[in-house]
Every structure is written in C-alpha cells, then in structure tokens.
Structure 1
Amino acid sequence: MNEIIEKKLKEIEERFQVKVLYAVESGSRAWGFPSKDSDYDVRFIYIHQPDWYLSIDPQGVGKKRDVIEVPINDLLDISGWEITKALRLFRKSNPPLLEWLKSEIVYYQAYSFMDLMRALEPQVFYSNATLYHYLNMAKKNHKEFLQGAEVKIKKYFYVLRPILACKWIEENQTVPPISFHELVDAMVTNSDLKHEIELLLRRKIAGDEMDLEPRIQPINDFLESEMIRLEAYVKTISVEMADPTEKLNVLFRSTLKEVWG
C-alpha cells in the first residue's frame, strides 16, 4: 500500500504542478485501532509554484482552491492542504493538523519544512482551544452513539480517545499523542477500567463486528464523569501567547525558496 500511496502523491504533484512536503496516515490506523476493513486516510501538505501566490486573488478564493481532494474509494481516502492554509490553521492550534504532526505513519516527507514547523509548535499550542475541541467531539459522539441500553460499542473509541486527549492536555499542557495505546497507558490509572478498554480494543482490532450490545457501564461511568469534570475545568484556563504570524511568514517564504529556488 505504501507504494500505491507514493505513486498517488507523485500523480498529484504532476497533475496540479505542486510539491508535496509531508504525507501521513490520519485515521484509525494512526490512532492504533484499525479494523481489518479500515481504509487508509492519507493527509498531506503541499506547496504551489511562486507564481501561484503572486496574484490579486488570495488563496482559497474562486479557482484558487487551497485543498486537493482525490476521489475516495473503499480503500483509500487522500486529501491535502496548501501550505498557507496549513500554517493559518497551525496558528490557531488546529487539532487535526497537530495530529498530522504526531502521526507515526509517515508516507512521505521532503525538505526542511516539517522539522521547522514542529519546532514552532510550542508557540502556537493553545491548550484551552484544543481541549475545547476534543471535549466537544467527545460530547457529540457520546450523544450520538452511546445512549440507550444497547449501543454500538465500537463507538466507545470515538468518545474515549478525545476524553483521554483532554486529560493529557490538562496534565501536561502539551499536544496529546496520536496513539490511543499511549493515551490509555498514561491517562487510565484504574486497572479494572483499563482492562475493559483493552478487551474492547483487542476485539475491534480482531475485526469483531460489535454491533448493538449492552452498554459497558464502567466505561460509561468514566466518560460521563470526566465530561462533567472537564467541562468545569476548561472554563478556568486561559492562554496568552505572542503572535507567531511573522515566524510563520518566514517559514512559508523560506520553504517556497527551498522548494522552487
């Protein structure tokens, strides 16, 4: 599959006349709980040639789209963000983008852009905004998937993971790891609860369908109590940081020069 993904990235470069800077896995495979039939969620950052940026219309307006999306099939979902879009989102501590930076499944990386970008991460990480994002994700998924006496229990992961990410941020004030295993090891201290989660994880990875089944009460109790607690906690924190825009401008310009000369 790596060879297929690399070939697709090269085709994208040729078709759109861009250079891919970085491409990673971003879905359940990157999180550490893929099923046998999980597709590949490839996300990438790319840069256009200099002339594309030298026009009166800004990126993302009209025909100057700031995303590239390849038609999805059952196996491969691939899309990318143009570099200035990525850096604007980086400036806002965008959680999906921060997860791309943490992915351990890297399909492609070129030039110095990603190393320089990662070095700036502490200057753009807003713990309150990122915690809000994960908490709202957990609440939405909990409401949608985990109500009633019987639930699709594989959906627990889509509430557990953001809640554990919130707990990581609360404790460490850093971007949480993308690995679900690492979050469980670090953030779940109750041995009985950890056993329930690990049992569920093994079933999912093994490919159990896990359709409607009775709720797992210890996990439900943990999630509900943590959502209440974190809702109160996030209101107590605020973050002030210097505007990183000029540093991101410098990164963009230096990458443009490095890639295209």
Structure 2
Amino acid sequence: MLVKERIIGELAQIEIEKQVKILYACESGSRAWGFPSVDSDYDVRFIYVHPVEWYLSIADKRDVIEKIDGLLDLSGWELRKALRLFRKSNPALLEWLQSPVVYWEATVIPTMMKEMTDKTFSSRSSLYHYLNMARGNFREYLQGEWVKSKKYFYVLRPILACMWIEEYHTVPPMEFKVLLNALLPEGQLKNAIQDLLRRKRAGDELTAEPRIGVINDFINRQLEHFQTLLEGEEGIVPVGEQEFDGLFRRALKESWGQYL
C-alpha cells in the first residue's frame, strides 16, 4: 500500500474509533520542509470536530488525538483548540495551514482559516517561536568542534523563517528550499548549505563532522540580530471571538448536519 493511502486509511479509522470528523490533515516535519532522511517519520497533523453532544457537557475533556504506528506519527487538535491557537497566531498551526503536503480536506473551514491568516498573523509571536527554536537547537546540537551536520537544518530553517518574517511580514513558507532561494544570495554560505542539502537528500548519514565555520558564523550573527529585533516588535490585537465562533458553528453544521 502506498504511504498516502495508508495515511488516509489511518485517518478514516480514527474517525470511526474516536467518533469525530477530520476537517484537515497535512504533513508537518522534514518531509514538508523538503529535507527528509530515508527513514524520516511521516508527521501527520490534523484538525477534527466532535459531534454536537460532545460539546454539551460540563466535563473537561481531552482535546488532542495521538497515534504512532511505525513511521506514522499522527497528532490532531480539536477544532476549538485549533481556533483558539489560530486566533493567537500560533506558528505551528499556521505551518499546518501552509503545508505543501495535504492528505485530507473535508470542508471549506481550512480554506476559510487560510484566508484569515493575514488578520491573525503576528510577527512578534512568530519571531519569538522561531528564534527560540533556533537557539534551542543550536545550543543542543551545534556546540563544539565536531557536530552532527544534519542538525544544521533544524537551526537554519527557523532562522530563515525569521528572515522571511522580517522581510515580508507574512507566514513563512514551510519548504526549506523556497526560503533559501528567496533570502540568501549566491556565495560561499549558500553553497555550503546547498551541499549539505544534497548530501542529506541523497541519504548520506551526515553524522559527526567538523563544524562548518561559514554556517556557524551566519547562525551566530542572526541569533544576535533577531534577539535585538524581537525586543522592538509589538504584538497585535487578536481578532474578535465572534468570527471564530462562526467558523466553529459552520464546521459543526457541515460535519454533522446541525449545530443547535
């Protein structure tokens, strides 16, 4: 069975087992970023909605669904949770909506959310998210004279995302190559990154190697720059709740035929 068919089958099974309707499912991880390894997981992320009766309860209920089966890592957020995070410009959710690999889209709700992105996007929230990701991965993986070269991508991608936000003030594309080609000029740095990318895609192990000075210098400069930039960024006023209430009710009606 092809992987996509297996993923769709797993999503359909989740609908039956959990008695939910999945509205949207996509790839979120190295396969969507464009630099998977041969044995990379499929990081499937989805948004789902329960029947009306599930919401008419005073009980606190779990608002995520998770399932791991071999190379398939499936994780979903209940729609109200997703909309609350979307309203706050949650970068992870914005990435889901930007994913170049979509497995499942059952209603117009994801499209409507994508159309609202300009209203909800916060440069400050996204810069904070990507800068912290870059700093954490740099601290964990790229210290010392010898480093695991494939880990460069887990620092470079969030840094390029920060550069995109600074340049365009929009949600950065997921694909690493799009970011790279749009933001870095031809030269030694870009050549070094492209060489790593070719090797990773070809299946090279990219284990411990001497650190790459031109890339490390670039990372250090950008971390310092974006820390300074972040301190001057202002947040945005969230979009009113009513607009999201309307989306939620429409999703219930489209999925289950009623919402009251």
**2:58 match: secondary structure:** coil
> Which residue does the alignment assign to 2:52?
50
Equivalent of residue 16 in structure 1, options 13, 18, 34: 18
> Which residue does the alignment assign to 2:176?
180
- Letter in structure 1 aligned against 2:210: P
1:123, 1:241 within 8 Å by CA — same for their partners in 2? Answer: no
1:124, 1:244 within 8 Å by CA — same for their partners in 2? Answer: no
Output aligned runs, 1:29-178, within 5 Å.
29-57=31-59, 61=60, 64-70=61-67, 72-178=68-174
> Which residue does the alignment assign to 1:198?
194
- Which consecutive unaligned segments of at least 5 residues does structure 2 have? none
Equivalent of residue 212 in structure 1, options 203, 208, 213: 208
C-alpha distance in 2 between matches for 1:165 and 1:120: 20
Name the % identity: 56
**1:171 match: secondary structure:** helix
- Letter in structure 2 aligned against 1:36: V
Q: What TM-score do the two structures reach when normalised by structure 1?
A: 0.95
Shift of 1:184: 0.2
- Letter in structure 2 aligned against 1:35: S
1:193, 1:219 within 8 Å by CA — same for their partners in 2? Answer: yes
> Which residue does the alignment assign to 1:3?
5
1:149, 1:214 within 8 Å by CA — same for their partners in 2? Answer: yes
Equivalent of residue 29 in structure 2, options 8, 27, 30: 27
- Letter in structure 2 aligned against 1:19: K
- Letter in structure 2 aligned against 1:29: R
C-alpha distance in 2 between matches for 1:182 and 1:46: 29
C-alpha distance in 2 between matches for 1:181 and 1:74: 28
Shift of 1:119: 1.2
**1:161 match: secondary structure:** helix
- Letter in structure 1 aligned against 2:64: V
**1:213 match: secondary structure:** strand
- Report whether the alignment pairs 1:231 with 2:241: no
**1:65 match: secondary structure:** coil
**2:154 match: secondary structure:** helix
1:20, 1:110 within 8 Å by CA — same for their partners in 2? Answer: yes
Q: What TM-score do the two structures reach when normalised by structure 2?
A: 0.96
Summarize deviations over 1:170-207 as a string: whole Å, max 9, x none: 01100000000000001112421111100000111111
CA-atom RMSD, angstroms? 1.0
190-199 or 144-153, larger mean C-alpha shift: 190-199
Shift of 1:242: 4.8
- Letter in structure 1 aligned against 2:30: S
